[in-house]
């Protein structure tokens, strides 16, 4: 229901992302910045009095390039950090070859795992031989809870772990809206995408559906 059942109605950014991903056969194209703002405010969906009351929005900064240069291209693969941990070692975990040249999109839930765990989990990606196969990474805007430093600490954990693996030049674009905040972008698994490091933009160069 996330995004669809938003109090006060769907955000334009969410609706546009769903439309492009699920109802158009043309390539999705450049992901335009979220200019509406973002929210992780908790409201009681059981309370009819707040169903028409939009959540308070914070200003949405545009995505930021944390490292890398040039154009990075690859198929989108990833998801929520905690759910990916549940999938490791199961039949649902992608085979090693699926990560060749992929762009890993990565986000954390409202549980706000400590950045130390992000280091441990990404070190496991490295131990599996995954990190070195990637062409780039996308990091979602996190739900910071009550910690205004949470996003910066998450970014630092990712960058430091990549440096440990000799991947200080791997393109990493952060601050995108596909995580556990609203509004939310729809990312199609397996679609080709490009990170333009100079412009700090993401382009999804394929359609997610067929005619």
Which tens digits make up the pLDDT trace of 35-61?
A: 999 999 988 878 888 888 899 999 999
C-beta of residue 62 within 8 angstroms of C-beta of residue 33: yes
DSSP-based three-state secondary structure for 43: coil
More confident residue, 113 or 2: 113
- pLDDT confidence of residue 129: 97
Position 50 scores a pLDDT of 84
Task: Reply yes or no on domain 12-38+61-204 having CATH 3.30.70.20.
Answer: no
**Is the pLDDT confidence value at 1 over 80?**
no
> Tokens 């949405």 sit at which residue?
60
Interval 53-82: pLDDT, tens: 899 999 999 999 999 999 999 999 999 999
pTM for this model (two decimals): 0.94
pLDDT in tens, 128-160: 999 999 999 999 999 998 899 999 999 999 999
pLDDT above 90 as % of the chain:
87
Q: Identify the pLDDT of residue 77.
A: 98
pLDDT at 47: 86
Q: Where do the structural domains in the chain lie, given as residue ranges? A: 12-38+61-204
d(CA 13, CA 16): 5
Average pLDDT on 6-22 reads 94
Integer Cα distance of 60 and 33 in angstroms: 9
172 token code pair: 């990493």
pLDDT value, residue 211? 82
Q: Which pLDDT value is given to residue 146?
A: 85
Give the residues across from 203 on adjacent strands: 30, 194
Task: Indicate the average pLDDT of the chain.
Answer: 95
Burial of 123 (0-12, 13-18, 19+ CB in 10 A): middle
Task: Report the alpha-carbon distance of residue 189 to residue 79 in Å, rounded.
Answer: 9
User: What burial letters (b/e) apply to 66-93, b meaning 16+ CB within 10 Å?
Assistant: bbbeeebebbbbbbbbeebeeeeeeeee
The pLDDT assigned to 42 comes to 87
């Amino acid at each position: 229901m996330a995004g669809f059942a938003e109090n006060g109605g769907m955000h334009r950014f969410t609706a546009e992302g769903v439309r492009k991903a699920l109802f158009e056969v043309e390539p999705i194209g450049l992901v335009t910045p979220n200019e509406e703002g973002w929210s992780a405010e908790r409201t009681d969906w059981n309370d009819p009095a707040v169903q028409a009351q939009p959540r308070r929005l914070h200003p949405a900064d545009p995505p930021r390039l944390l490292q890398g240069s040039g154009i990075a291209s690859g198929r989108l693969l990833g998801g929520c950090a905690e759910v990916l941990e549940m999938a490791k070692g199961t039949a649902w975990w992608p085979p090693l070859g699926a990560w060749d040249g992929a762009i890993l999109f990565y986000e954390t839930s409202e549980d706000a795992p400590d950045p130390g765990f992000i280091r441990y989990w990404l070190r496991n990606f490295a131990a599996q031989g995954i990190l070195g196969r990637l062409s780039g990474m996308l990091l979602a805007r996190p739900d910071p809870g009550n910690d205004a430093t949470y996003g910066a600490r998450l970014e630092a954990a990712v960058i430091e772990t990549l440096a440990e693996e000799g991947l200080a030049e791997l393109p990493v674009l952060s601050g995108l809206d596909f995580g556990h905040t609203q509004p939310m972008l729809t990312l199609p698994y397996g679609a080709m995408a490009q990170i333009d490091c100079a412009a700090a933009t993401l382009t999804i160069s394929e359609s997610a559906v067929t005619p």
